[in-house]
Homo-oligomer: A and B are copies of this chain.
Amino acid sequence: MERIPILQMGDFLLVTIQVDMHDQLALTLQDDLSERISKTSARGVLIDISALDMVDSFIGRMIGTISGLSKIMDAETMLVGMQPAVAITLVELGLNLPGVSTALNVERGMKLLQERVRQQ
């Protein structure tokens, strides 16, 4: 399976990362996502990483790129479902994901995004 599915939930897009990311998969995801944002006029992107036991600098960079690309297209990015061990590792490594908002789970992330969109 060579692409990560993007699910539409109202004004938002949900991406659940479950598999090991490699270069091509990350590029495909970025392409697919930008196309979907433009097609659906989505206001936000939720990236769920609850299935990941670890986040390395490659995934960190990919999340940063997605966030930057969404921002340009007027969509906010929210990272959700981070496992405690992943959070500890990120802090210890000094990877602080600049410009990326986080929430505990999809529900809270969606609520936060909805509030932000309403304020705009």
Q: Which A residues contact B (CB, under 8 angstroms)?
A: 1, 3-5, 7-10, 14, 16, 18-20, 48, 50-53, 81, 105-107, 110
**How far is B17's CA from A100's CA once the two chains are assembled, in angstroms?**
26
Closest to A7 in B: B106
Give every chain B residue within 8 A of A14 (Cβ-Cβ).
7, 106
15 intermolecular pairs with C-beta atoms under 8 Å apart: A1-B19, A1-B20, A1-B52, A1-B53, A4-B18, A5-B16, A5-B50, A7-B14, A7-B81, A7-B105, A8-B105, A8-B106, A9-B106, A10-B107, A18-B18
A34, chain B: closest CB distance, angstroms: 18
Chain A interface main SS type: loop
User: Residue among A16, A19, A105 with the most chain B CB within 10 A?
Assistant: A16
